[in-house]
Chain A
Amino acid sequence: MTRDEIKDVILEIIQDIDEDGEVENLNADEPLRDQLDLDSMDFLDIVMELRKRYQLQIPEGDYPELASLASCVNYLEPRLKDV
């Protein structure tokens, strides 16, 4: 997957979790938590959804990598390159 495709997937998953959140104009480098109404349960949902879609295992220690949109894409790019 390309960086743009990964970004679209993440935004789609987040939109399902936070229906009222405005995901179009997110600042990619700022923490998602500061821009949307997300809590730690929501990040767990992202992890579980990525595992379901791409068999991707994200260990608990790596959860901080999902903090912002940019860090998400950086983290996922090498892991989803063959998808």
Chain B
Amino acid sequence: MPYKSIAKAAAKYDVVVIGSGLGGLTTANRLANAGHRVLLVEHHHRLGGLATWFKRKGHIFDISLHGFPHGMIKTCRKYWNRAIMDSIVQLNNIVFDNPQFTIRTTFDKEDFTSILTNRFKVDRASVDDFFNTVAGMNFYDDRTMTTRELFEQFFPGRGDVHRLLMEPISYANGSNFNDPAITYGIVFSNFMNKGVFTFSGGTDKLIEMMVEELEKNGVTICTNSRAERIVIDRGRVRGVEIDGRFIEAACVVSNAGILNTIDDLAGRASFSAEFLEKIKPVQVNNSSCQVYMGIREGERLDDVGDLLFTSTAPAYDVDEMLDMETRSRTFSLYYPKTRPGHDRYTVVASMNARYDDWAALPEERYREEKEKMIERSLVDLERYIPDIRQKCDWLEAATPRTFQRYTLHTKGTSFGTKFEGLEVSRTLFNDVKGLFHVGSVGIIMSGWLGAINYGVIVANDADAYLRS
């Protein structure tokens, strides 16, 4: 069992991992597997970072389970274990509903090709060309082309096609038309490979299985343990101060936000002027709002789809999607199949949001805005589940302030940073020997699959340092 404070940790480890998002968990597991002594600390009482859940009145609400690409199967087998891999199942019913089109799809290349040619009447050659182009994209390729330019090149003037291609990815990682085409291509291709998948048993089961594996591999885990400062001396990591205790370690992997790591944990004084220049263009991504709806025990919902990308806005519009009163939201429907044996239904509405819009509100106004958001979400969901209000016995909202409180992320970002953050994250250790960062950066290292794979990449860097 994880310790509930830092008190029982040893005085010294080979490596301390700060934060237990999927990236931090994976780095800890890989390094332990490679034979290092690892301490994993988490400020919250629960592990998982944004891969989390909460319980209310018998309901279990998943925050970010929504759906991930097929690549998770191989990734979980290689970097976790077979039991985790075996719990991954496909979601077949992805629904789009907006004034431009209503579609039901398996969200894979074959089905999208058919939809684009038959329904949107795009010629087959352009569709094939588009898929081949995005599938061939690498993160080190030229990134001057924006996603908007990519769409215009293959589907000029087709706002409806652009919306079909962009909207789900905006919900997946906060990116939009203005972000580099390569970030779009890499993430979109991951999903188009074989469709959308989920974890049978829910987020709580996944994290429980990961903790079991970490403990089997000898990782010491301390929750309710907040890292205050990474101690750096003459350009080298010496350890971490955690709730007043100094833990010695030559290597620290921070799974805090990249800007939190630089500003709050290491301190800017630890870095060269040249490196600080590189940080300037780093932008944190937007945050999110969510509305959680618990269905009363004994009630059931018809299958209206697993993921519903809905909007009543006339067209895809970056600002509209971030607005406090956005008319665009994703409904994630969790049927009893999500947690076999737990015979309950929940619905989670997710919206993109700006931290600054919510942070400034006085308390009373903040509560009112949350109520209004719940009401707008119910009105939208009534189009698919007309009697949702009668079936619901729990309603609750989260805002960028909620995300900030639980993750401590700069401006409550739910998708890390835009593209520039990747380079900064990858080169921290050039300035401070033994300091590494893992977490959502660069858009492509975001989402469950991106976070886990990035955890493996960073574990390799840290392992190379530890053995040097």
A interface list, Cβ under 8 A from B = 17, 41, 44-45, 47-48, 51-52, 55, 57
Interface of B is mostly: helix
Q: Are B464 and A51 in contact (CB under 8 A)?
A: yes
Complex Cα–Cα for A41 and B34 (A): 16
B460 within 8 A of A: yes
A57 and B453 in contact, given A48-B34, A48-B460, A52-B34 (Cβ under 8 angstroms): no
Chain B nearest CB from A79 CB (Å) reads 15
Chain B residue at smallest Cβ distance from A56? B467
Least Cβ–Cβ distance between A36 and chain B, in angstroms: 13
Choice from B34, B460, B467 contacting A44 with Cβ under 8 Å: B460
A51 touching B78, Cβ below 8 Å: no
- Neighbouring A residues of B467 by C-beta, 8 Å: 51, 55, 57
Give chain A residues whose Cβ lies under 8 Å from the Cβ of B460.
44, 47-48
Query: Which residues does chain A contribute within 8 Å of B30, judged by CB atoms?
Result: 48
Which of the residues A17, A41, A51 comes within 8 Å of B463, measured between beta carbons?
Answer: A51
CB distance from A20 to the nearest CB of B (A): 11
Which 4 interchain pairs have the tightest Cβ spacing?
Answer: A48-B460, A52-B34, A44-B460, A41-B453
Cβ proximity bits B199-219 to A, threshold 8 Å, 1 near / 0 not: 000000000000000000000
Shortest CB distance A12–B (Å): 15
Whether A48 contacts B453 by the Cβ 8 Å rule is no
CA distance A39 to B339 in the complex (A): 32
Cα A57 to Cα B460 in complex, Å, equals 11
| Interface flags, B441-468, vs A, CB<8A=1, else 0 | 0000000000001001101100110011
Can you list 23 residue pairs at the A/B interface with Cβ under 8 Å?
Answer: A17-B78, A41-B75, A41-B78, A41-B456, A41-B457, A44-B456, A44-B457, A44-B460, A45-B78, A45-B456, A47-B460, A48-B459, A48-B460, A48-B463, A51-B34, A51-B463, A51-B467, A52-B35, A52-B463, A55-B467, A57-B464, A57-B467, A57-B468
Chain A residues whose CB sits within 8 angstroms of the CB of B75 once the complex forms: 41
